[in-house]
Structure 1
Amino acid sequence: MPAARADAQVAGTTQSERKAETLTWLRRISGDLATATLKRLEDTLPWYREMPPGRRSAVGLVAQAGITSFIQWYEDPESTPWIAADIFAAAPRELLRSVSLQQTLQLIRVTVEITEERVAGRGGNVREAILKYSRDVAFAAADVYARAAEARGLWDARLEALVVDSILTGEADAELPSRIAALGWHGHGEVCVLVGTTPPQFDVDQLRRMARKLGVDVLIGVQGSRLVLVMGRSDAGARGEEPVADLPFPDIALHLEPGFGPGHLVLGPPVPALVDASASARAALAGFAVARGWRHAPRPVEADDLLPERALAGDPLAKQTLVERIYRPLQAHSPDLVTTLWSYLDNGRSLEATARELFVHPNTVRYRLKRVSEVIGWDATGPREALILQSALILGQVAGAEGQRKRPGLAGAHKRPAVSS
């Protein structure tokens, strides 16, 4: 027994001496390992060769830190938690944004390959240590990128909520375009705002995937029970995706409808660009507030189809839209069209009654109603569109009467009364 104990002590001493010798040798060749690693990176990884010198230098710092940390870890394996994480502390913050997790793992693999090649003759225990350490470093890298992605996701969510709120309130400032760019917005051309209810189990990622398949980029805002989407047609080339045929916004809204909760879904009118989206948002919000006034409103419904309800609720934009898009174009085209439309609507949309009142043939009434539809795009023969047109006529007449009352008053205010001689 004493002899066996003595042999074990000798073996332990010999193993410690070998480890000390290996540590001394590793410290001596650490510089050569770093140089060989950078040379291999340049020979095998195109993304490393294309980097600017400053970032290549930062990658070199990470590789050097990895080799140094391995030597410290080999001396004391209990130091794994802090040494593995300390490798990435050598990298500047912007390197995380320019080097992906996949590229980082390629860097680890090349470093491990170089180290294995150099220590091939030093015994299996060193190679096993390298494999264990590289595993810890790979997990540390994944953890660093996961935390960075989580922090960026939280920041993006706050920034997106701020942008959507600025659009809804119309309080856009000079910083709005830069905030939109920071969110990675790839929309181009016209933009629409879609307003509905938030579903009980809202999956924002699923809604984004649905929009991406439709060739649409979206900004999403959740305001309690209200869900707001700002939609623009996506630039597929910027995302590296296959282009998708441009769909009309009503069709896009119909495809996205399952992502909303129960209740009304209102689509604002298209506007030229994202910075103009507040106009679409105002119309969509006003329509959403009064959509219950239309018993059989479709889902989704366009905000312009709710113009009568919006006007009755006091929406000045709806009143202005009705007058400028219906009454004034008809009045400018032909007063006969306005007269015929008034008579047709007042007579319960009866062609014969309208013809008798105007002393014309019913075919003349049909022709004029067809011209009305061609001029303004609304068909008076439908019950819903008849309501829209009648609202426009009433508002147009009221606006005209108010204008006539104001003009004489203003003229008389500057006229001196005549003095009798």
Structure 2
Amino acid sequence: MAARTKQETLAWLRQIAGELATATLKRLEDTLPWYREMPPGRRSAVGLVAQQGIRSFISWYDDPQSTPWIAADVFGTAPRELLRSVSLQQTLQLIRATVEVVEERVTRGTDDSVREAILLYSREIAFAAADVYARAAEARGLWDARLEALVVDSILSGEADDALPSRIAALGWHGHGEVAVLVGTTPPVLDVDQLRRTARHLAADVLIGVQGNRLVLVIGRADERSGWTIAGREEAARDRLAEEPKDEVARMEGEPADDHQLSFLDIAQRLESGFGPGAVVLGHPVPDLVEASRSARAALAGFAVVRAWRRSPRPVLADDLLPERALAGDPVARSTLIARIYRPLKDHSTSELLGTLWAYLDNGRSLEGTARELFVHPNTVRYRLKRITDLIGYDATGPREALILHSALILGAISEPVPTRRRVGR
């Protein structure tokens, strides 16, 4: 059989274009399970893309040099939601099935130039598909970064509105339940991807915001019942194998997460190496992400006064900075000290605990001096101090906790109403 000329081949290709499209859809139906499971509307859109690819090949084969074809020639017919629902891997499978059908039907009875044209076109269309998805991913990444910055700003300012939950959902937030905010300095070179990998390894999710020289992380622990914890561990294991150097990853990420959930302080200790020099302050946990502004306010207030604690740990809890925050005028710290320490001692059934603590702190934490003032044995003072620790959780014998307790007593005494005398007539 004599080989066709190029014009004869073009006429023949235009004649069998419909047959090629039908055969391609049949091949997709037989070989791609994800295509069979698609709704009819999306299957039709995928078919249109395949048909457009065949027509674009015929036009390109007619004159490759006339006008350079672009990816929009093929993917322009696809609706926008199709590009979001079909992955790059599935698109490459679609291209491969289409090329196989065209190659099987067209190369019979034609010369090698047609086969070479099909191979060249399939290579270019594959690169074009990758370019389309890369641009979409880049645009989505920029949009996610702006949306994440907006969400973090809303949390820090406390200006949460009805749109905040939908914005959080759009970011793909995996955290469930309690949330805490971690504040520190921004490093000279911020590695956002490393922070996310470390958090994912710890079965946690983070929102990252940069406020000038201040780095803010909103941390949420994943719900073990959701199954995300297991998936997060598997993905983190793959990340660790792919990362170089491995010892640096192990240093930052630490050991894999245990079966139980890590505390926010444990998570913060693994993430603190991603911050710059200086203090790192962790706010108290709150029930959900919508209320994260309360944790953010505590963390920011602690970050502003942490330099007053000369030997503060890194990271440090915002609640461990309650005296400094109260001295700086933080009303939340004042009310917390009163509610957590002064009020339980004041409302206790026996009044000797509050008096004993006052005397113990006023006497320089001396058991003998306190015993002499109260006319009791030093062992009685020890017993009452132990009862105080059991009641409020603070040990008055430690220097740092003694400062917290003394601040709470002073603020509690100031908050008490001033007694007024009743005027007596003559």
Calculate the TM-score normalised by the size of structure 2.
0.89
- Find the residue that maps to 1:241 and give its secondary structure: helix
How does 1:302-381 map onto structure 2 within 5 Å?
Answer: 302-333=317-348, 334-381=350-397
> Which residue in 2 is equivalent to 1:148?
136
Cα distance change, pair 160–79 in 1 and its aligned pair in 2 (3 A): farther
Q: Determine helix, strand or coil for the equivalent of 2:5.
A: helix
Q: Quick check: 1:291 aligned with 2:311? A: no
Closer/same/farther in 2, CA of residues 375 and 203 from structure 1, 3 Å limit: same
Mapped pair 1:301 → 2:316? yes
Alignment of 1:6-405 (within 5 A): 18-78=5-65, 81-121=68-108, 122-235=110-223, 237-238=227-228, 241=231, 244=257, 245=259, 246-333=261-348, 334-400=350-416, 403-404=417-418
Distance change (3 Å), C-alpha of 1:79 and 1:146: farther
> 2:239 maps to which residue?
none
Give the counterpart letter for 2:231 in structure 1.
E
CA separation in 1, counterparts of 2:68 and 2:395? 73
Change in CA separation of 1:83 and 1:286 when aligned onto 2, cut-off 3 Å: closer
- Measure the CA separation in 2 of the matches of 1:259 and 1:140: 37
> What is the one-letter code of the residue matched to 1:88?
F
- 1:110 aligned partner, one-letter code: A
Residues 1:279 and 1:205: Cα distance change in structure 2 (over 3 Å): same
Q: Is the 8 A contact 1:163 1:176 kept in 2?
A: yes
Gap change, CA 1:211 and 1:128, over 3 Å in 2 = same
**1:81 CA drift (Å):** 3.7
| Worse overlay, 72-81 or 279-288 | 72-81
Q: Does the residue aligned with 2:184 lie in a helix, a strand or coil?
A: strand
Q: Structure 1, residues 171-218: CA drift from partner, whole Å, max 9, x if none?
A: 100000000000000101111000000000111111111111111100
Task: Provide the C-alpha distance between the structure 1 equivalents of 2:141 and 2:160, rounded to a whole number of angstroms.
Answer: 23
Write out per-residue CA displacement over residues 303-327 of structure 1, whole angstroms, 9 at most, x where no aligned residue. Answer: 0000000000000000010000110
Whether the 8 Å contact between 1:23 and 1:75 is mirrored in structure 2 is yes
What's the RMSD between the two structures over aligned residues? 2.0
Question: Structure 2 CA distance, aligned partners of 1:351 and 1:418?
Answer: 44
Please give the alpha-carbon distance, in whole angstroms, between the structure 1 residues aligned to 2:229 and 2:62: 47
Alpha-carbon shift at residue 49 of structure 1 (Å): 1.1
- Larger RCO: Structure 1 or Structure 2 (Cα < 8 Å, ≥ 6 residues apart)? 2
In the alignment of these two chains, the number of paired residues is 396
1:167–1:277 CA contact under 8 A, matched in 2: yes
When residues 80 and 258 of structure 1 are mapped into structure 2, their CA distance, relative to the original with a 3 A threshold, is farther
Distance verdict in 2 for CA 1:106–1:252, change over 3 Å: same
Q: Which amino acid aligns with 1:147?
A: R
In structure 2, give the amino acid aligned to 1:164: V
Aligned-residue sequence identity (percent) comes to 74
**How many Å separate the matches in 2 of 1:343 and 1:53?**
81
2:203–2:232 contact (8 Å) kept in structure 1: no
Unpaired segments ≥5 residues, structure 1: 1-13
SS in 2 for 1:78: coil
Is the CA contact (8 Å cut-off) linking 2:204 and 2:220 kept in structure 1? Answer: yes
Structure showing greater Rg: 1
**1:114 Cα deviation after fit:** 0.4
Distance 2:313 2:84 in 1: 45
Per-residue CA deviation, residues 76-100 of structure 1 (Å, 9 max, x unaligned), is 1125743443211111111111011
Q: Return 361-370 or 102-111, whichever deviates more.
A: 361-370
Deviations 1:214-241 (A, max 9, x none): 1110000001100000000124634871
The answer (yes or no) to whether the contact 2:185–2:279 under 8 Å persists in 1 is: yes
Cα displacement (A) at 1:162? 0.5
Q: Which structure has more helix as a fraction of its residues?
A: 1
- Cα separation, 1, equivalents of 2:165 and 2:119: 48
1:418 and 1:345 map into 2 onto residues whose CA distance is 39
When residues 80 and 211 of structure 1 are mapped into structure 2, their CA distance, relative to the original with a 3 A threshold, is farther
In the alignment, the residues of structure 2 paired with residue 40 and residue 329 of structure 1 have an alpha-carbon distance, to the nearest angstrom, of: 75
- SS of the residue corresponding to residue 57 of structure 1 reads helix
